[in-house]
Each structure stands twice: as C-alpha cells, then as structure tokens.
C-alpha cells in the first residue's frame, strides 16, 4: 500500500496520535486516582492533590470497610446473582435464539417482531413493579435475576450468529439421525463459543452492575448487592458532606475520601478482571455482522 | 385450504409450508426450546404493557386491576395541569437533545481518529482503554465523579484552588447538573460506539483511499468523502437505537444525580414516576405518567425511523 509521506499527512498523524493518547489517558486517569487513593493515608491525600502512586502505602481504608460485614455481604450477594443470573440468562437466550434461527419454526417473524417491539416500548416502572410484586418476588434474590433475565439485544445477536452458521453441519447431523437437542449441544454450541463467551460476559457485567432493581424490589438491607452499598456510602452520604471543608486531622481513622475510593475499587475490580477475557473473545467481525443483521 | 391458496393469501410463506400443528409435531424440540424465553417476554415485558390499563383506573392494590374503578383520562388531565409538568417535559427534552448533540458525535470522531492510525498496537491499546468505562455501572461512574468533584478534597477542586480559582460546588449547584450529566455520558458511552464505527470503517476498500490520494486529496478530504459516507448506515442505525435508548436508560443515571438542590433541572418523567409511584404510592397516576413518557419515546423512534427511510436508509424495523 502506498504510504502518504507528505509533511501534511505526517503532521496529521502526529497530532492525531497525541490527541488519542490524551483521550486514553483522560479515560483511565480517574480510575487510577481512585485506585491509588484507596491505598493511601490521610496525610498524603491532604498533602498532594493528584495521587497516582501512593508513597505512603496503607491498607487502612480497606481494613475499615471490611471491619463490618456490610460490604463483604453485599459482595457475596453480587457474586451470587452474577453467577446464577448469567447461567440462567444464557440458558434462556441460547435456547430461544436457536429455535428462532430455524426457518422451520412457524410464527418466527411474529415472535421476532414482538421481541424487537419490547426495545421500543415498555409498560414502565409501576406495572413492572406490580407484576414482580404479584409473583411474590419482593425481597428475594429472584427479583434481581428473573425480571432481568433476557435482553432482546443479546437475543438478536445470538440468533443472528446461529443463522450465520453453515447449514451443511446441521444437514449432515440430521442425516445421521440427530435431533435438535443434540445438534444444539453437540455441534452448534461448541462452534459458537466466541459468541457465547461474549454474550455471557455482557450478561455477567450487567448482573454485577445491578442496582436499581435492588432499590425497587429489595427492602432487606442484607440482600443488597455491592452497587447499592456503594451508592449509600459515596453518593447518598456524599450529598450530606459535600460542603464540609476544613477537616481536623485524623490519626486513627482514614478520611472519607479513601474509604469511598476503597468501596469504589471493590465494586469495580471484578469487572476489570473479567475485561481482558471479554476483549479476547470479542470477535468484532462476527459480532458486527450480527448487529447489522 | 390447499397449498396454492395459502401461497396466494400469505405470499411471504415458504411454499408448501405445513400447518402449525404438523410443524409442532415434526419439530417439537424447537418449539419447546423457545418456550422459556417466550414466557419471559410475555410475563415481564407484555404483561406490564397490558398492566398499563391501571393508568385509566383508580387502582387500589387490594381491589386489583379488575376490581378498580375506571376513570378514563383523569390522570392524564391531572398530569397536564400539574405545575411541574412543563418543567419535567422541558428537562426531559433538554437532556435528550443535549445527549444527542454532544454525546452522539464523540464516538464517530474517535473512530475516525483511530481509523487513521497505522500502528496497530497503539490502536488496540487506546480502543481497550476507551471501552472500559462502558462496563462500569452508573453507580461506579457517578461515585468516581463525586469523589473527583467533591468540595472536600476532591481532585478537581484542589486543582482549581492550586491554579488560583475558587472552589466550585459541582454536585449541589444546579447549573452544573447538565454539564456533569453530559460529561459522564461521554466518558462512559463513547467507547462502545467507537468500536462499532471502527469495525464498519475496517470494511472500507483501501483502493478508494489510494484513488483519492492519487487525485490529490489530503487526509481530511479522504475522511469526508470516503470514510464518513461509508458508515452512514451504521450512524443511522445507532442514532435510532440511541433515540429509543435515551429515554429509557438515562433514568438510572439521572436517578443517582438528583438531590434536593438540582431537582428543578434534573427531574424527568421517570424520576417523577418513581417518587409519585413507589414512594408516594400513587400507582395509577404515576403509571399514567410513565405511559405518557413511553408513548412519547415510541413516537420519537417511529418518527426518526420514518425519516431515515425517507433518506434511503434502512430503519430498525
């Protein structure tokens, strides 16, 4: 490929890269600041404005947030609903997507239309609340899993992926006498691992980020997932202390800032751990094809 | 009814398609597979839609949907005469349009910039970084913002003071609610759109660029005349999705930002529904408000879809 070596083009490249590097930096700087700030002490946060690498390493903030069971329990809740929820969601999604990907299914187009329609219009907060309440799910973990079990968007991606698999595979399996169940589990699923991994991770991240459903449906504080606790500590408490200035120096307790930062880190880290795996399986070509279709 | 009649009456059907009963017997497994998913959509998506009927009733939980008294459009009339209505409508539409105008172009811009980069590793790194905030919950995004914008040792205020300015009360001052909202969206959502636009740009034929270069086109002209037109369809689809999305998901975000100070500029239909419905127990009234909002959203999406088709693009339905 002929490279454009004119100075105008080179200047363009230079500025482009510089700007992009800046964008990348600005995107992650808040995380780094919060991460670093969570591992530092009162004195250092008071002294320096931007802490990127703490010189005074301290686990005080973490000791504090783990000193009661609140944060730990909420993490447990989040892990539970993420694992159970993802499995449940994938089961429903893969089965329905597979069924919908077959032309022999009567009513296929109608069902697809009904599914797409839910992306454009819904009953709203109150009717949904009444449905969940009538099912007796209030204050149960089920309320955090079942009502959010399927995403129309994910379903469509999965279905399109299945549709793009070559027909020949299924044909030869059918000739060998295989039924739909074994075609699905023995052939289609193993071939679809990139899509399945990606959609699973989408669902998992979604479950981990659950907060509003908990605010609506769960009154028992012991059942609150980590995001709700995070909101309590940083946002709700934050509103109360937003205008306090001039703190007295504390020698024993860490300041509110590093505690808040520690809770943020704890709520965020699992996603950051899972993220590289998501990146790896993110078959951009296949996924985009599914979105276009 | 023989096959020929069926074909004439339903031209989209595959010719010789068997009846529903026959199909279920023959491909039973498939129908069984879609049952759980169908149940989900019926119970948790369509049942609430039918439940919207309580917007026309004076719903009392102990009477149930069928036992409650019918009041027609009374709740809607009440909504339109509510003094807060215009404020809420204004807030909702303002945030919606600010979102479209400021947040939507950013991923396109970023994708254009990244597309011009020849060094693959740098491109991958920036892509990866920019995409991270998308996976953070709104609670995390808003929490981090709170920590940074706090009056008490927040980074931004500390930097302002060091530069000789006064501290700014970003969190309480209503003037800052909208800019904060927009910046948070840009931070969180740009990465997702960028990936999609980039993928679309990757499929552009490199020969077009070479031809343009030979004709003497500089970088900017190449982008304007080749890159942008090629992703026009993707832009339209994502724009339509965003329109449908903004009125829905925006709520969880705004809910976190609202406090007593910025209610005037931040209160939107959904937050109003939450307060009136779940906190004050006015089920029917808030259901009517929610219905109105969903309806407006649907109209907007349909209008945008129709418009896009007029311009020769595919809509999303």
Q: In this structure, are residues A87 and A147 in contact, taking their beta carbons and an 8 Å threshold?
A: no
- Return the higher-pLDDT residue of A56 and B296: B296
Q: Is B13 inside any structural domain?
A: no
Identify whether residues B186 and B79 lie together within a single domain.
yes
Count of alpha carbons within 13 angstroms of residue A212, beta-carbon side? 21
How far does A24 lie from chain B, in Å, by closest CA?
Answer: 5
Domain boundary among B70, B88, B113: B70
Asked if residue B238 belongs to a domain, the reply is: yes
In a domain? residue B268 = yes
Q: Note whether residue B8 is domain-resident.
A: no
Q: What is the pLDDT of residue A254?
A: 38
Of A99, A247, A285, nearest to B152 by CB-CB distance is A247
From the list B114, B162, B171, which residue is nearest A242 (CB)? Answer: B171
Question: Is B144–A30 a contact, with Cβ atoms under 8 angstroms apart?
Answer: yes
CATH number at residue B140: 1.10.3720.10
Which residues lie below 8 Å from residue B212, measured CB to CB, with a gap of 6+? B221, B222, B225, B226
Poorest-confidence range of A12-26, A54-68, A145-159, B9-23?
B9-23
Provide the pLDDT for residue A250: 33
Q: Quickly state the pLDDT bin for B66 (edges 50, 70, 90).
A: confident
* pLDDT above 90 for A256: no
Instruction: Answer yes or no: do B25 and B99 share one domain.
Output: no
Token pair listed for A198: 């990606």
Token pair in block for residue A176 = 């060998």
- Best mean pLDDT range from A36-40, A60-64, A66-70, B185-189: B185-189
Mean pLDDT (whole number) for A63-90: 92
- Do B264 and B188 belong to one domain? yes
Q: Are B146 and A238 in contact (CB under 8 A)?
A: yes
DSSP B99: I
Among B129, B238, B150, B155, which Cα is nearest to B193's?
B238
Query: What percent of chain A stands above pLDDT 70?
Result: 84
Q: Which residue from A246, A252, A32 is spatially nearest to B152, judged by alpha carbons?
A: A246
pLDDT over 50 (residue A245): no
Q: At B288, which helix (H) or strand (E)?
A: helix B283-310
Contact B37 A96 (CB under 8 A): yes
Q: Which pLDDT tens digit goes with each residue over A125-178?
A: 899 999 999 999 999 999 999 999 999 999 999 999 999 888 888 888 888 888
- Of A11, B88, A92, give the one whose Cα is nearest residue A100: A92
Are the Cβ atoms of B116 and A12 closer than 8 angstroms? Answer: yes
Tell if the CB–CB gap between A105 and B196 is shorter than 8 Å: no
Quick: pLDDT tens for B95-135: 988 999 999 999 999 999 999 898 889 998 999 899 999 99
Q: Which of A114, A208, A275 sits opposite B41 (nearest CB)?
A: A114
Q: What is the pLDDT of residue B190?
A: 93
Residue-range definition of the domain harbouring residue B162: 74-310
Q: Which residues of B touch A124 (CB under 8 A)?
A: 48, 52, 273, 287, 290-291, 293-294
Verify whether the Cβ–Cβ distance B150 to A271 is below 8 Å.
Answer: no
Banded model confidence at residue B76, pLDDT cuts 50, 70, 90: very high
- The ipTM value here is 0.85
Of B70, B89, B112, which residue is a domain's last?
B70
Residue A64 has pLDDT above 70, yes or no: yes
Considering the domain A28-292 in this protein, what is its CATH number? 1.10.3720.10
Domain boundary among B55, B70, B85: B70
Average pLDDT score over chain A: 83
Tell me: the pLDDT tens digits for B258-305? Answer: 888 888 888 998 899 998 888 888 899 999 999 998 888 888 888 888
Contact B140 A268 (CB under 8 A): yes
Residues in chain A closer than 8 A to B158 (CB atoms): 49-50
Domain coordinates of chain A in residue numbers? 28-292
Which residues of chain A are within 8 Å of residue B218 when distances are taken between CB atoms? 8-9
Confidence (pLDDT) at B168? 87
The SS3 of residue A154 is helix
Q: Looking at the 3D structure of chain B, how many domains does it have?
A: 2
Of the candidates B12, B49, B210, the beta carbon closest to that of A2 is on B210
Is residue B242 over pLDDT 90?
no
**Sign of the C-alpha dihedral computed for residues A278, A284, A285 and A288 taken in this order:** positive
Q: Which residues in chain B touch residue A211, judged by CB atoms under 8 angstroms apart?
A: 137-139, 252
Per residue in B129-146, pLDDT (tens digit) is 999 999 999 999 999 998
Per-residue pLDDT band for A51 (boundaries 50, 70, 90) equals low
Kindly state whether residues B196 and B291 are assigned to the same domain. Answer: yes
Distance CA A225, CA A126 (A): 22
Same domain, residue pair B64 and B149: no
**Among A8, A81, A105, A126, which would you mutate to test the B interface (most chain B Cβ atoms within 10 Å of its Cβ)?**
A126
Average pLDDT score over residue span A244-249? 29
**B104 and B56 belong to one structural domain:** no
Average pLDDT value for residue range A39-57 = 71
Contact call for A1 and B301, based on CB within 8 A? no
- Is position B5 within any domain? no
Question: Does B273 contact A125 at a Cβ distance shorter than 8 Å?
Answer: yes
For the beta carbon of residue B181, count every other beta carbon within 10 angstroms. 23
Of A21, A34, A122, the CB nearest to B147: A34
- Give the model's confidence band at B17: pLDDT under 50 very low, under 70 low, under 90 confident, else very high: low
Segment B143-166 mean pLDDT = 86
pLDDT of residue A145: 96
B284 and B152 housed in the same domain = yes
Q: Which residues make Cβ contacts (< 8 Å) with residue B12, sequence separation at least 6?
A: A109
The pLDDT confidence band at residue A293, using thresholds 50, 70 and 90, is very low
CB-based contact A245 B139, cutoff 8 Å? no
Burial A120-138 (b: 16+ CB within 10 A, else e): bbbbbbbbbbbbbeebebb
Q: Which of B250, B260, B215 is nearest to B97 (CA)?
A: B250
Residue A176 near residue A81, CB atoms below 8 Å: no
Q: Which residue of B has its CA nearest to A51?
A: B155
If asked whether residues B112 and B26 sit together in one domain, one would say no
Give a yes or no: residue B10 inside a domain: no
CB pairs under 8 A between A and B: 300
Closest listed residue to residue B133, CA positions, set A272, A201, A49, A231: A272
pLDDT at residue B237 is higher than 80: yes
Burial class of residue B176, CB neighbours in 10 A (0-12, 13-18, 19+): middle
Residue B109 shares a structural domain with residue B205? yes
Q: What is the mean pLDDT of residues A51-68?
A: 81
Q: Which of B119, B121, B139, B251 to mutate to test the interface with A (most CBs of A within 10 A)?
A: B139
Measured between beta carbons, the chain A residues lying within 8 angstroms of B139 are: 209, 211, 227-228, 230-231, 235, 267
Best CA proximity match to B191, nearest among B96, B113, B106, B121 = B106
Query: In B198-315, which ranges are E strands?
Result: none
Asked if residue B185 and residue B145 are part of one domain, the reply reads yes
> What residues of B are in contact with residue A292 (Cβ under 8 Å)?
234, 237
Residue B218, pLDDT above cutoff 90: no
**Does one domain contain both B31 and B120?**
no
- pTM (2 decimals)? 0.85
Instruction: Name which of A120, A227, A230 to mutate to probe chain B: the one with the most chain B Cβ atoms within 10 A of its Cβ.
Output: A120
Confidence band (pLDDT; 50, 70, 90) for A241?
Answer: very low
Given a cut of 60, is residue A255 above it in pLDDT?
A: no
Q: What is the C-alpha R_g of chain B?
A: 26
* Cβ–Cβ below 8 Å for B48 and A24: no
CA distance B154 to B158: 6
> Which residues of chain B are within 8 Å of residue A119 when distances are taken between CB atoms?
244
Is residue B140 within 8 A of residue B227, CB to CB? The reply is no
Least confidently predicted of A190-199, A204-213, B44-53: A190-199
Mark whether B132 and B228 lie in a shared domain: yes
């Amino acid at each position: 490929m002929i490279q454009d070596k004119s100075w105008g083009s080179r200047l363009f490249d230079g500025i482009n890269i510089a700007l992009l590097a800046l964008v990348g930096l600005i995107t992650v700087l808040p995380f780094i600041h919060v991460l670093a700030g969570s591992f530092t002490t009162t004195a250092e946060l008071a002294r320096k404005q931007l802490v990127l690498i703490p010189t005074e390493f301290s686990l005080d903030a973490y000791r504090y947030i783990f000193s009661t069971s609140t944060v730990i329990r909420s993490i447990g809740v989040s892990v539970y609903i993420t694992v159970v929820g993802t499995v449940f969601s994938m089961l429903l999604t893969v089965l329905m997507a597979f069924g919908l990907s077959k032309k022999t299914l009567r009513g296929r187009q109608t069902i697809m239309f009904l599914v797409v329609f839910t992306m454009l219009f819904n009953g709203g907060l109150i009717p949904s609340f009444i449905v969940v309440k009538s099912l007796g799910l209030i204050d149960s973990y089920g309320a955090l899993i079942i009502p959010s079990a399927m995403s129309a968007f994910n379903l469509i991606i999965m279905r399109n992926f299945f549709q793009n698999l070559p027909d020949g595979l299924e044909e030869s399996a059918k000739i060998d006498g295989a039924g739909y169940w074994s075609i699905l589990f023995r052939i289609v699923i193993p071939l679809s691992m990139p899509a399945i991994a990606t959609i699973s991770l989408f669902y998992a991240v979604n479950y981990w980020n659950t907060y509003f459903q908990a605010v609506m449906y769960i009154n028992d504080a012991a059942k609150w997932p980590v995001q709700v606790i995070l909101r309590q500590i940083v946002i709700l408490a934050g509103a109360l202390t937003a205008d306090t200035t001039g703190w007295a120096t504390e020698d024993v307790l860490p300041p509110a800032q590093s505690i808040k930062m520690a809770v943020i880190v704890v709520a965020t880290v699992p996603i950051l751990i899972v993220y590289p795996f998501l990146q790896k399986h993110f078959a951009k070509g296949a996924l985009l094809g599914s979105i276009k279709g | 009814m023989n096959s020929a009649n069926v074909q004439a009456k339903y031209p989209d059907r595959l010719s010789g398609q068997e009846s529903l009963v026959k199909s279920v017997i023959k491909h039973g497994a498939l129908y069984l597979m879609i049952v759980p998913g169908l149940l989900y959509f019926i119970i948790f998506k369509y049942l609430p839609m039918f439940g919207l009927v309580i917007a026309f009733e004076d719903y009392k939980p102990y009477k149930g949907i069928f036992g409650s008294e019918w009041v027609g459009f009374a709740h809607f009339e009440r909504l339109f005469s509510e003094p807060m209505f215009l404020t809420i409508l204004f807030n909702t539409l303002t945030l919606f349009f600010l979102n479209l105008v400021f947040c939507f172009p950013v991923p396109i811009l970023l994708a254009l910039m990244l597309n011009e980069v020849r060094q693959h590793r740098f491109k991958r790194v920036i892509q990866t970084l920019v995409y991270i905030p998308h996976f953070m919950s709104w609670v995390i995004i808003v929490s981090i913002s709170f920590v940074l914008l706090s009056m008490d040792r927040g980074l931004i205020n500390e930097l302002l003071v060091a530069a000789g300015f006064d501290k700014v009360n970003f969190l309480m001052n209503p003037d800052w609610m909208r800019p904060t909202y927009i910046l948070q969206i840009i931070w969180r959502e740009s990465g997702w759109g960028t990936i999609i636009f980039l993928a679309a740009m990757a499929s552009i034929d490199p020969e077009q660029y070479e031809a343009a270069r030979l004709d003497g086109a500089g970088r900017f002209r190449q982008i304007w005349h080749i890159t942008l037109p090629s992703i026009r369809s993707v832009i339209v689809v994502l724009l339509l999705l965003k329109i449908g999305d903004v009125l829905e998901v925006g709520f969880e975000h705004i809910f976190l930002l609202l406090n007593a100070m910025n209610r005037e500029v931040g209160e939107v239909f959904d937050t109003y529904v939450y307060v009136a419905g779940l906190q004050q127990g006015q089920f029917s009234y808030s259901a009517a408000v929610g219905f109105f909002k969903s309806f407006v959203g649907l109209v907007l999406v349909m209008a945008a879809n129709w418009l896009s088709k007029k311009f020769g693009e595919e809509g999303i339905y």
